[in-house]
Amino acid sequence: MMTLQENYQQIVDDHRKYVDQGNTIDYTFRKQQLETIKKILKDYETEIYDVLRKDLNKPDHEIMLTEIGIIQNELEVAIKNLSYWMQPEKVASPLTHKGSKSYIIKEPLGVVLIIAPWNYPLQLSLVPIIGAIAAGNSVILKPSEHAPHTSDFLARIAEENFDPSYFTVVQGAAEETTELLKQRFDHIFFTGGSNVGKIVMRAASEYLTPVTLELGGKSPAIVDEDANIQMAAKRIVWGKYTNAGQTCVAPDYLLVQESVKFKLLKAMKKQIKSLYGKNVLQGENFSRIINLDHFNRLKAFLNSDHIVHGGEYNEEELVIEPTILDKIDWEDPIMQEEIFGPILPVLQFENIEDALALIKSREKPLALYYFGENPRMQSQVMEYASFGGGSINDTFFHLANPHLPFGGVGQSGMGSYHGKAGFDTFSHQKSILKQTTKFDFPFRYSGGTVTSNILKKFLS
């Protein structure tokens, strides 16, 4: 019986042989694989809803919008643009290269490992896979063991619809992931927390394997005094409490100008009731916390002295209702780590410059959201603060645009994907110069003072 390491080595060897034989190079082949994923979304739609409900109790509208819908958009863009993306890219050549043609070939990296998280277990598995397949790679997927029903589903659709030497799903927990990371891949794509991201990066360094790390951080939502308060309240509530706050780009804390704080909190409480109803603790129309450990970590933040809305929970159902905490400062425990749950701490500021200075003094977040109507201030906030990506007068939706690269900066990640950015992430930009043999310039070769003078004259 093979050990885990021997089994994984065999899987990687089979994938490398499949790629080296040129099976993934052809445009028609790549397009067919993308069409297969598109067909899977349609043929297995009922089962997709079922497994996501079992793992996270996701409401149907969230499944459509944040899982299936995002994947469909990515597929549409990739299928439509694949031929164009694959074409060699012509570039200019300088005068010293007269007679030559320069171009870039988009070459597949080879065998790609994708390690997916549990919070959006379908979308965050398939969207990077779409980029990897479009770029002509083979894929080994390690889905999260914390979403076992979705993980089983992904393993089955891979087995039923793809060559096992082209697309393989490896299931398991920390032990299996550790052994898998000992193998040599051509690219590793990881979505998850920064602590595990560091482990992935250390393992990748053994073979100098390039990595993409999609991590997280404390992403702020800033509400300025001239913001449309009702609209800001609705969009912040939706962006924060979708998937019970278990979203890497969810607003992690709220910074509000003190003159509009009371009005904003009142509007947010109203929006919570409107969007999620009165039966949140019974698991109606609201996602559950993924497991008991995560639930207990979040429960520890529920200090009654700070709760201005919510705070109730159902441990049996692993549900925490949408909660707002006020009178929070930067030293409180909830401000020391990414929350990743349905609890929103509120801080206030007197002027926007102070708020931006506080944000800039901390680690760079994955997302930032600014609510305000002044175009000059909108530009100032977007340009001054460093963050992965974000929105003006909205939350979350920048992630769902396949034409925008998505990724972090600093501690919130490295590299990006979605749409063309995903194709580029999983491609090597191979530079080619094709030189003429019809003539030759002597100044390109060594020749002392005469050659140097000719070259100077040519370039002047």
Active-site residues, by number, are 214, 248
Closest Cα to residue 421, out of 120, 105, 81?
81
Block residue for tokens 């052994």: 179
Cα–Cα distance between 336 and 170 in angstroms, integer? 34
Report the DSSP pairing between strands 323-325 and 343-349. Answer: parallel
H-assigned helices in 213-346: 229-241, 261-276, 292-299
Q: Are 222 and 369 in contact (CB under 8 A)?
A: yes
Cα–Cα distance between 231 and 195 in angstroms, integer? 36
Between the alpha carbon of residue 180 and those of residues 5, 10, 114, 127, the distances in Å are 7, 11, 11, 21
Cα–Cα distance between 144 and 8 in angstroms, integer? 17
Cα–Cα distance between 201 and 454 in angstroms, integer? 50
Q: How wide is the angle at C-alpha 401 spanned by C-alphas 397 and 402, nearest 5°?
A: 155
Q: Are 426 and 108 in contact (CB under 8 A)?
A: yes
Q: Are 113 and 105 in contact (CB under 8 A)?
A: no
Cα of first residue to Cα of last residue in the chain, in angstroms, is 71
Instruction: Write the DSSP string, 76-92.
Output: HHHHHHHHHHHSPEEE-
CA 414 to chain centre: 10
Between the alpha carbon of residue 154 and those of residues 151, 169, 181, 257, the distances in Å are 5, 7, 20, 45
Show the tokens assigned to 78: 């990739």
As a residue count, the chain comes to 460
Residue 140: what are its φ and ψ, rounded to 5°? -115, 120
Instruction: Write the DSSP string, 135-159.
Output: TT-EEEEE--TTSHHHHHHHHHHHH
